[in-house]
Amino acid sequence: MCNAPGVSARVAVVGLSGSGKTTVAAELARILGCPHVELDALHWGPGWSEAEPETFRAAAEAATVGDR
């Protein structure tokens, strides 16, 4: 849930690899008082091992469930 007045939706930051998406998203979340969910952190495990699709889906759902 965001602390910014009038903010009731999720924001998705999309861009090319290395373009600064995580930096922009983290700062935007900080300014708005919203949680920051980095999907790469949920998708990749130790040694850049890829999460199983169902594991990733469950982690993404758990991280994004709740009020919009």
pTM above 0.75, yes or no: no
11: helix, strand or coil: coil
The Cα–Cα gap between 52 and 28 comes to: 29
- Residue by residue, pLDDT tens for the chain (68 residues) are 676 676 667 888 999 999 999 999 999 999 988 889 999 999 999 999 999 999 999 999 999 887 65
Dig out the tokens for 64 from the structure.
């994004």
